[in-house]
Each structure stands twice: as structure tokens, then as C-alpha cells.
Amino acid sequence: MPSLHRDVVIVGRGIAGLCLSVFLQRKGIEHFLVVKEMQQKVIALAETLPPSAVAMIQQLGLREVFEESALEKTLGYHSLWGSPKVQDVNFYFQHPYNYGLKLDKQLLLEKLESCLDSHKCVQCKNWSWKEEDRCIRVNSAEKVFDLYGRIFVDATGRKKALLRKLGIGSTVHDQQIAFSCHLPRIRHPKIKHGVFTEAFKGGWGIVSTLDQRTNVMTLYAEKGSPQSWKMREYHHWQTLLSDTQILQAFLPGEVLSPVFVSAANSICTNEIAGSDWLALGDAAIAFDPLSSHGIANAVYTAWQAAEAIEERLGSDSDLALKVYSEKLRKIFGAYLVTRQRFHNNQVFFP
Ligand SMILES: Cc1cc2nc3c(=O)[nH]c(=O)nc-3n(C[C@H](O)[C@H](O)[C@H](O)COP(=O)(O)OP(=O)(O)OC[C@H]3O[C@@H](n4cnc5c(N)ncnc54)[C@H](O)[C@@H]3O)c2cc1C
């Protein structure tokens, strides 16, 4: 079997995998990024990067790439969450950046990929893990070959494709699931920012401006709950949101896309790193989208992973990977505490 050898083999072309590839390239660390042709359709969600993360992407030399991929700068958001009054969370006093970014994620992925030398990406139809040789067997359109690395990285998001092959399980902290669709844009007199969040009985929802003509709305509920079954079909949304103060006003009669379902639960892999592998981004620790932590976490873990990998490659010890793992575990622990506070506060129903 033909084989190729690199220091690092990353699986998954999301923000985490691409950022890690960019950081390793800057360090001159030889690696491959395995990109699988995915059949799954995606929907633009207009994900928000909070102001606190803008400072980090500036520090990492990625602010330009992110800003070029932004649909707009966001100056705040509104919410009806644990209070009968609409809250205006204004970013004006945030320091050093008083704005967040609403991202076109597909464009961001393309821009990050364009930062890489083209030979770094290995496109394939599928791949498998060969435990006996500790390598990845890649099946591309033209040939089959083995990829060997000193370190393997799972950057496949919630799919955790490599972790599963390594037999590593996860701890699930809730069963939240998301239902998203594109709607004709409606403007609301009380909502001046492009993002609004409201809790309702058995769930919560968010509406965000995508462009001049489109809003994207996502509803969240626990998987298997009566609300979650209804959320699958747009024609139930009017009834589901009938008790909301504001969210229902964003529902037009027509809909511009089917309803897309995605996992949105809090989940942490049982092991974040071993002696010759690590996980990052959603594959390692995945957050409730309410937190707006997901993209910042993908970038941060890629940064920390690049540092740990550099140290690991230069030594016989796997201490750097252990420290990386501990750091992520602490972050996830702190997040769970905050999340509990937010959801306990979800007490206001009109
Ligand atoms: C409804 C919703 C709204 C969200 N809103 C926000 C928000 O406003 N702000 C925010 O910060 N975050 C938000 N998030 C979270 C954020 O999108 C994710 O946390 C972030 O994109 C994770 O990046 P990642 O690179 O770790 O994983 P992913 O983006 O999932 O990337 C994983 C990559 O791996 C690939 N892959 C999967 N399986 C395989 C395989 N077998 N082989 C090879 N490749 C594979 C996938 O195709 C993909 O390219 C939201 C999430 C959801 C579900």
C-alpha cells in the first residue's frame, strides 16, 4: 500500500481543523488535513462571534479573514430571557472591540482554506482507521493510500469520527436539538439589533438577520420532547410560539427553506488527548449555541492544540497534550456552571 508520512494528520475541514492547519503551517510543522466529501446539506445560520473573541482572532492574526467573512458587525442583541422586559445587550462598552461579527461560515471556511498551501488538503470519498498500523487509510477518487502521522487530530465536530474509531466515548450533559429555517425578513420596531432571543415553555428560539431579505430562525428543545416533535414541521411553529411576546412576530406565512435539524447539546469527550492524538473544537467540547462559544472555542482549541503539538513533537513526553486536555476540561466545567444558571433563569412565561 502506498503511504505518506507527516508529523500531524488532521481530520475535518471545519473552523477548528482549518485554524489548526493554518497555525501548524505558520510553525512549519508538516501535516495533512483530511477532507471528506460530505453529502449533507447545510444551512447558513449567521453564527455570531462575540466581541471578547474578536480580541483573540486579532491576537492570532485572523481578524482580517474573519471580518472579510462577516455578514455584518453586530453591536449587540436583544433577549427576553428570565425577565418580562426586552433586554438590550449593547456591545458599546466592551473592550477593546465594541462589536461582534455575524459570520458567513461557508465563506469563512473558504477563506481559511485559501491561507493553506494547496497540497496540505487531502480530498477523499472516505477513510478508515487502521489500528494495527496506527494510520489512516484514505480512499480518494484516484487511489487508496495510508497516511501516517506522529499525532492524529479529530476535528470532525460533533461527528467525532476519529474518536469513535479510537473507541473513545463521550459524556452527554443534555439532549438539546436545534431546528433552523430561512424566513422572509420581517423587521420589528422594538428590535434594533440583528439578533433576538426569547425563551418559551419547553424551549427557546433565536432570530437573526441573514441579509436584506432573509432572517434565519432556530428553535431549540430537548430531543424527544413534545415541542421537539412539533419543531420539525414549520406549520407547527405558529402554535409553538403563540405564547411568546415577540418571537412569533418574526413568523411569516411562507418559508424559504426546509427545516434543518442539528444537534445542539452540551457534550464532552471522555478523553481529550492521548499520547499520539488529540481532539479539538466541537469534537472535544461542544456547547449550547446560546453561549455563542462554539466558533471561539474552535479557534481557541486550535491555537492551544498547535502549541501543544509543537511541544509534543519536540519531546519524548506527552505532558503538553495532558496539559492541553486539562485546560479544555476546566473550560467545559466552568461552562456547565454558567449554562445551569442561564437555564434555571428561564422562568418567565407570559
Ligand atoms: C443551530 C446552531 C447555531 C449555532 N450558532 C452559533 C453562534 O451563533 N456562534 C458560535 O460561536 N457558534 C455557534 N454554533 C456552534 C458552532 O457552529 C460550532 O461550535 C463550530 O462550528 C464548531 O466547529 P468545528 O470545526 O469544531 O466543527 P464543525 O464545524 O462541525 O466541523 C467539522 C468538520 O468535519 C467534517 N467531518 C465530519 N465527519 C467527518 C469525517 N468522517 N471525515 C472527515 N471529515 C468529517 C465536517 O464535514 C466538517 O467540515 C451553532 C451551532 C448550531 C448547531
Does the pLDDT of residue 349 top 60, yes or no?
Answer: no
| CA–CA distance, 230 with 161 (Å, rounded to integer) | 30
Distance from Cα 265 to the centre of ligand 1, integer Å: 12
Ligand 1 pocket mutation, candidates 156, 265, 292, criterion most atoms within 8 A of CB: 156
Sketch out the chain's domains with CATH numbers: 3-44+104-173+267-344 (3.50.50.60), 175-263 (3.30.9.10)
Distance from Cα 342 to the centre of ligand 1, integer Å: 23
Give the pLDDT confidence score for residue 344 in this predicted structure.
76
Residue 341 CB contacts under 8 Å (≥ 6 apart), including other chains:
none
pTM over 0.75: yes
Give the pLDDT confidence score for residue 235 in this predicted structure.
96
Cα distance between the two ends of the chain = 65
Does the pLDDT of residue 115 top 50, yes or no?
Answer: yes
Residue 222 CA to chain centroid, in angstroms?
19
| CA–CA distance, 7 with 308 (Å, rounded to integer) | 13
Helix/strand/coil (H/E/C) assignment for every residue in the chain: CCEEEEEEEEECCCHHHHHHHHHHHHHCCCEEEEEECCCCCCCCCCCEECHHHHHHHHHCCCHHHHHHCEEEEECEEEEECCCCCCEEEEHHHCCCCCCEEEECHHHHHHHHHHCCCHHHEEEECEEEEECCCCEEEEECCCCEEEEEEEEEEECCHHHCHHHHHCCCCEEECCCEEEEEEEEECCCCCCCCCCEEEEEECCEEEEEEEEECCEEEEEEEEECCCHHHHHHCCHHHHHHHCCCCCCHHHHCCCCCCCCCEEEECCCEEECCCECCCEEECHHHCEECCHHHCCHHHHHHHHHHHHHHHHHHHHCCCCCHHHHHHHHHHHHHHHHHHHHHHHHHHCCCCCC
Closest residue (by CA) to atom 18 of ligand 1? 294
| CA–CA distance, 151 with 308 (Å, rounded to integer) | 11
Q: Which residues line ligand 1 (CB under 6 A)?
A: 11-17, 34, 36, 38, 45, 47-49, 155-159, 161, 178, 180, 218, 262, 264, 281-283, 289, 292-296, 298
For 280, phi then psi, to 5°, come to -145, 175
Give the pLDDT confidence score for residue 350 in this predicted structure.
27
CB 10 within 8 A of CB 127: no
Distance from Cα 154 to the centre of ligand 1, integer Å: 12
Mean pLDDT of 10-30: 98
User: Angle, to 10 degrees, between the axis of helix 294-313 and the axis of helix 51-59?
Assistant: 30
Distance from Cα 116 to the centre of ligand 1, integer Å: 20
Give the pLDDT confidence score for residue 51 in this predicted structure.
95
341 or 63: which carries more pLDDT confidence? 63
Write out pLDDT tens, residues 41-98.
899 999 999 999 999 999 999 999 999 999 999 999 999 988 889 999 899 888 899 9
Ligand 1 pocket mutation, candidates 126, 282, 303, criterion most atoms within 8 A of CB: 282
| CA–CA distance, 175 with 259 (Å, rounded to integer) | 19
Distance from Cα 16 to the centre of ligand 1, integer Å: 8
Does the pLDDT of residue 19 top 80, yes or no?
Answer: yes
Distance from Cα 85 to the centre of ligand 1, integer Å: 33
Distance from Cα 317 to the centre of ligand 1, integer Å: 31
Closest residue (by CA) to atom 42 of ligand 1? 36
Closest residue (by CA) to atom 39 of ligand 1? 156
